């Protein structure tokens, strides 16, 4: 079944009007990334009253900049973190069942150029299969050189001994975030993007609400809540410090940001529906080449970062690493001229209180949920795959802290997200975006004005109107970075399409769609770090 047959409207004036109404919410959530949206959906599905505010667009930050993998954490197996692997494997299957149009199985191949590699890594992956049990997506296989080349025709054949094939998943992170937001809204939650939390409200030493600002108008309003959840990712410490100052209890930062860089090239570099995985590069890192939405993603890196830029840029050594290591495994080495887009995400890694966060590879990939003495609930860390389990942990913390009356969980385990089709899915995540990307809503999108008017690259006028009317889209960036993923796939093409998108958005919203800012962003996504 699907969550809803008729898309809900997302008219901004109506959303702000509802947000301005005096009431006390059960939960007010600050942050519209994977974690905050997951909490909103879980809480709304349990019948709690929920409001969520996001200072920019949903999934503007880290949650749209993943490596696009829904994985059980095979790397964590080597660290002996069996519990994390088990949880991730279970959640991987749950996600694919609830949003099959946005998350699907993907076969990975690790090519072996030394005789010991296949048995060494293959044994670990067989254990991965065993931990998955019924949640497994396919059995690990040992491949000879010829079968490896059949799976990865563009891999370097010289010295190839064989390979190991295993299964994980991939997804469209930004569109999944949007599906979470819209599904939460269908369950009664009120979600507003471009509405920034400016201050926490304290009464008698307890957090009782949030002062918000509509960033489009500058209008401020106060939201009252029994429970306030800080789900702002790498930015959680700013609210924690504000809370500590208000209650005269200073806090130490808990997040050490880690930067992950991704480089996008054309499919010809990996002419396959299989992903390439290198478990240990020359300097001990992991490298992926992943077919995704008609292109190939190369990455990623793991570099400490001490600032919190909204649009971080790659370091020169990171780009050099990705291109150098790709050249070691691909028959044709990608060059800077082959790059279609470069984008960077910041991981909110949780550090021990005595750690300076300078070695992010050793920091925890698990999530952390904290309750301050004032009752502020903070959640950070974790990864996309386990967003649903993280949300359940947040609700449990609200219950144990006495902020909300406990209600039974597990309500989202079998809850289809907006767009989930009733029947089989016939497209693959490696296929270019199109009408199929909308799942069960495709016909409704086609019914919007301008379905036959292609603005460029497969983006139609109808898609833009649908994004404005039903997907919270306000700017050109919202449309071409997250509703459609063109900025992440081909920044030059996004720049060419942008003007037509801007014209339609302005018709729909009556506001400036911020075309110049988006064109500047396309230049950044093409700029080589020096």
For residue 310, give the CATH number of its domain. Answer: 3.30.9.10
Question: Do the domain assignments include residue 46?
Answer: yes
Q: What is the CATH number of the domain that holds 204?
A: 3.50.50.60
Residues 261, 132 share a domain? yes
Residues 303, 246 share a domain? no
Name the phi and psi angles at 458, rounded to 5: 85, 0
Residues 237, 211 share a domain? yes
Question: Do the domain assignments include residue 290?
Answer: yes
Residues 339, 262 share a domain? yes
Whether the CB-CB separation of 347 and 360 falls below 8 Å is answered with yes
Name the phi and psi angles at 109, rounded to 5: -125, 130
Residues 270, 217 share a domain? no
Whether the CB-CB separation of 342 and 260 falls below 8 Å is answered with no
Whether the CB-CB separation of 450 and 470 falls below 8 Å is answered with no
The rounded distance, in Å, linking the Cα atoms of 202 and 208 is 6
Residues 521, 451 share a domain? yes
Residues 54, 36 share a domain? yes
Tokens of 89: 């494997």
Question: Do the domain assignments include residue 206?
Answer: yes
Question: Do the domain assignments include residue 38?
Answer: yes
Closest CA to 94 of 489, 447, 389: 389
Question: Do the domain assignments include residue 474?
Answer: yes
CA atoms within 13 A on the CB side of 138: 15
State which residues form the domain around 520.
435-526
444 Ramachandran zone, left/alpha/beta (phi>0; psi -120 to 50): alpha
From first to last of the 530 residues of the chain, give the pLDDT tens digit.
Answer: 334 479 999 999 999 999 999 999 999 999 999 999 999 999 999 999 999 999 999 999 999 999 999 998 777 777 778 888 899 999 999 999 999 999 999 999 999 999 999 999 999 999 999 999 999 999 999 999 999 999 999 999 999 999 999 999 999 999 999 999 999 999 999 999 999 999 999 999 999 999 999 999 999 999 999 999 999 999 999 999 999 999 999 999 999 999 999 999 999 999 999 999 999 887 778 899 999 999 999 999 999 998 999 999 999 999 999 999 999 999 999 999 999 999 999 999 998 754 444 444 544 458 999 999 999 999 999 999 999 999 999 999 999 999 999 999 999 999 999 999 998 999 999 999 999 999 999 999 999 999 999 999 999 999 999 999 999 999 999 999 999 999 999 999 999 999 999 999 999 999 999 999 999 999 999 999 98
Residues 385, 361 share a domain? yes
Total domains in the chain come to 3
Residues with Cβ within 8 Å of residue 395, at least 6 apart in sequence: 39, 42, 43, 46, 404, 409
Residues 373, 309 share a domain? no
Residues 337, 361 share a domain? no
- Which residue among 350, 378, 410 closes a domain? 350
Question: Do the domain assignments include residue 98?
Answer: no
In total, the chain counts a number of residues equal to 530
Tokens of 459: 């983006």
Closest CA to 301 of 350, 345, 267: 345
Residues 244, 205 share a domain? yes
Residues 140, 261 share a domain? yes
Environment class of residue 215 by beta-carbon count within 10 Å: exposed (0-12), middle (13-18) or buried (19+)?
Answer: middle
């Amino acid at each position: 079944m699907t969550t809803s047959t008729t898309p809900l409207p997302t008219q901004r004036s109506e959303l702000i009007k509802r947000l301005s109404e005096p009431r006390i919410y059960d939960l007010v959530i600050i942050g519209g990334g994977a974690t905050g949206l997951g909490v909103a959906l879980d809480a709304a599905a349990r019948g709690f009253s929920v409001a969520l505010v996001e200072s920019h667009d949903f999934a503007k930050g880290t949650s749209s900049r993943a490596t696009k993998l829904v994985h059980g954490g095979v790397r964590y197996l080597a660290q002996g973190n069996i519990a994390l692997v088990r949880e991730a494997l279970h959640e991987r299957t749950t996600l694919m069942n609830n949003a099959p149009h946005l998350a699907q199985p993907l076969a990975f191949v690790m090519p072996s150029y030394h005789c010991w590699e296949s048995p060494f890594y293959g044994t670990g992956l067989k254990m991965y299969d065993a931990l998955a049990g019924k949640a497994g997506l396919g059995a690990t296989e040992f491949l000879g050189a010829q079968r490896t080349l059949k799976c990865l025709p563009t891999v370097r054949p010289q010295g190839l001994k064989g390979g190991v094939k295993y299964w994980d998943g991939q997804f469209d992170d930004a569109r999944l975030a949007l599906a979470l937001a819209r599904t939460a809204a269908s369950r009664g939650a009120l979600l507003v993007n471009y509405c920034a939390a400016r201050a926490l409200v304290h009464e008698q030493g307890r957090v009782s609400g949030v002062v918000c600002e509509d960033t489009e108008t500058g209008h401020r309003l106060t939201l009252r809540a029994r429970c306030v959840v800080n789900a702002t990712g790498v930015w959680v410490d700013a609210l924690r410090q504000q809370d500590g100052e208000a209650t005269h209890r200073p806090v130490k930062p808990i997040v050490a940001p880690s930067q992950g860089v991704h480089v996008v090239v054309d499919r010809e570099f990996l002419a396959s529906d299989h992903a390439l995985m290198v478990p240990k590069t020359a300097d001990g890192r992991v490298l992926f080449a992943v077919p995704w939405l008609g292109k190939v993603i190369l990455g990623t890196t793991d570099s400490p970062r001490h600032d919190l830029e909204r649009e971080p840029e790659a370091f020169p050594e990171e780009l050099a690493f990705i291109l150098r290591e790709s050249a070691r495994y691909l028959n044709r080495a990608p060059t800077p001229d082959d790059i279609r887009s470069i984008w960077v995400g910041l991981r909110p890694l949780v550090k021990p209180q005595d750690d300076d966060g300078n070695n992010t590879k050793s920091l925890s990939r698990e999530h952390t949920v904290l309750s301050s003495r004032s009752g502020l609930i903070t959640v950070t860390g974790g990864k996309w795959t386990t967003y649903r389990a993280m949300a359940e942990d947040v609700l449990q913390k609200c219950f144990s802290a006495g902020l909300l009356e406990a209600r039974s969980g597990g309500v989202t385990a079998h809850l289809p997200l907006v767009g989930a089709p009733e029947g089989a899915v016939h497209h693959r995540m490696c296929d270019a975006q199109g009408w199929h990307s909308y799942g069960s809503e495709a016909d409704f999108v086609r019914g919007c004005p301008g379905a036959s008017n292609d603005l460029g690259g497969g983006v139609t006028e109808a898609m833009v109107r649908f994004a404005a009317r039903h997907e919270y889209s306000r700017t050109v960036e919202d449309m071409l970075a997250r509703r459609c993923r063109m900025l992440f796939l081909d920044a030059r093409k996004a720049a060419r399409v942008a003007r037509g998108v801007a014209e339609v958005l302005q018709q729909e919203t009556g506001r400036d769609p911020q075309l110049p800012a988006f064109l500047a962003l396309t230049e950044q996504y093409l700029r080589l770090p020096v």
